[in-house]
Every structure is written in C-alpha cells, then in structure tokens.
Amino acid sequence: MILFEHIRCPLHRYTFSVRPIREWVEANAEGYVLNLFAGRTILALNEVRNDIDPEMVAEFHLDALEFLRTWNGRKFNTVILDPPYAYRKSMELYNGHICSPFRQLKDALIPVIQPYGIVMTFGYHSIVMGRNREFELQKLALFSHGGAIHDTIACIERFNPVASGPA
Ligand SMILES: C[S@@+](CC[C@H](N)C(=O)[O-])C[C@H]1O[C@@H](n2cnc3c(N)ncnc32)[C@H](O)[C@@H]1O
C-alpha cells in the first residue's frame, strides 16, 4: 500500500524553509540522517549535512557524488535528496551549482544506506531509486503551491534488499 498526502503550501528555493514541508520531513525521517543537498534549514533530526556551496549550513561541502563515494562512517537510516530540480534552476537559484549525474548518484547511495532504510526525494518524479535497486515506494506527498507553479513531489522509498531475492 502506498500512502498519499496532499499539502498546500508556498514554494521557496530553499525547500525546507517552508514550515509544512520541513515538518513533513521531520515527521517522516528515521534515525541517522544524511541530508545530501542540505541548503540552509537545520532540521530537528540527527543529521549529517552536505552541500557543495560553502555558504550553506553544512559540515561537508562536497559534490554529492564525491561525498557518497568517500563516506566511510556509519550507514544512514534516512537519506534526503533535495537537489536542484533542473539545470536552469541550478544556474538561476543555486549559484550555478549543478547536481551530479543522478543515475550515478543513486547507485553510489546504496553502500551508505542501512538495509530497510529510506530515501526521501524531492523533485518531479514519484519513483527515484526504483525496484531494480531493491527499493519499494511507500509514501508520496504532493506539495501544491497554487497558481501556475508546478507541484513539488516528495517520495519515500524503502531499501528492502531481500525483496527480489529467492523466496
Ligand atoms: C533545492 S536546494 C536544497 C535546499 C535544502 N533542502 C533547503 O531546504 O534548504 C539544492 C541545494 O543543492 C546544493 N547543490 C547543488 N549542486 C550540488 C552538488 N553537486 N552537490 C551537493 N550539493 C549541491 C545547492 O547549493 C542547494 O543548496
């Protein structure tokens, strides 16, 4: 069963500065959290923060892919992905910082996440990690910003590494 929520709220380029979104993230994240595109908003979570932009509030300022490939600490229960959603947005809104190649990023994420951990993604897609990587979609939220502004889609996928294994 996939849970679905529909939430009306404004849009801001720093997504989690909008209170209903921040509260949704805090309510749905679990345990030890990697906030890979952390931006400005500190969450009430046990989070490790990374953002390539040195002006953002983070302990690490690495390209997301480099962070994943070099992390040798504890595995995370939750990974939050809130990258710039499009090249144009990177240029206009995030000081020209563009997201690492997303397919590589998704593959590089597997070694840093605990089995049964979750990936929470914000963007334009409802499935991100997908079944081929042994993730199951559990929850979808549509944040509706009104007028001509596109909704923001958030999805939560759980890493279930036995799902496609032998019965
Ligand atoms: C949509 S904003 C995230 C905002 C954050 N969730 C918040 O609410 O404040 C995208 C962030 O990704 C960062 N970013 C862009 N390219 C990146 C990269 N290749 N690696 C890591 N961070 C990157 C930007 O600096 C920006 O802060």
Q: Say if residues 159 and 118 touch (Cβ distance below 8 Å).
A: yes
Residues 59, 125, 60, CA angle at the centre, nearest 5°? 5
For residue 125, how far is its CA from the centre of ligand 1 (angstroms)?
A: 17
Q: What is the pLDDT of residues 106-128, one digit of tens each?
A: 999 999 999 999 999 999 999 99
Residues 88, 89, 90, CA angle at the centre, nearest 5°? 90
d(CA 109, CA 97): 20
Give this prediction's pTM.
0.94
Give the residue extent of every domain in the chain.
Answer: 3-159
For residue 87, how far is its CA from the centre of ligand 1 (angstroms)?
A: 12
Residues 47, 137, 38, CA angle at the centre, nearest 5°? 25
63 in contact with ligand 1, CB cutoff 6 A: yes
pLDDT of residue 8: 97
Strand 152-159 with 113-123, pairing: antiparallel
Tokens describing residue 42: 């500190």
3-state class (DSSP) for residue 154: strand
Closest Cα to atom 15, ligand 1: which residue? 97
Closest Cα to atom 11, ligand 1: which residue? 37
Closest Cα to atom 25, ligand 1: which residue? 53
Q: Say if residues 132 and 152 touch (Cβ distance below 8 Å).
A: no
Substitution candidate for ligand 1 out of 19, 94, 120, 145 with most atoms within 8 A of CB: 94
- What sign has the CA pseudo-torsion 108, 58, 12, 44? positive
pLDDT of residue 20: 98
**CATH pick for 3-159 out of 3.40.50.720, 3.20.20.80, 3.40.228.10, 3.40.50.150:** 3.40.50.150
3-state class (DSSP) for residue 133: helix
For residue 89, how far is its CA from the centre of ligand 1 (angstroms)?
A: 11
For residue 127, how far is its CA from the centre of ligand 1 (angstroms)?
A: 20
Provide the residue-wise pLDDT of the chain in tens; the chain has 167 residues. Answer: 999 999 999 999 899 999 999 999 999 999 999 999 999 999 999 999 999 999 999 999 999 999 999 999 999 999 999 998 765 665 666 677 767 788 999 999 999 999 999 999 999 999 999 999 999 999 999 999 999 999 999 999 999 997 555 55
Ligand 1 atom closest to the Cα of residue 80 is: 6
Q: What is the pLDDT of residues 44-59, one digit of tens each?
A: 999 999 999 999 999 9
99 in contact with ligand 1, CB cutoff 6 A: yes
pLDDT of residue 101: 84
Q: Taking the C-alpha atoms of 124, 30, 49 and 2 in order, what is their torsion angle to the nearest 10 degrees?
A: 0
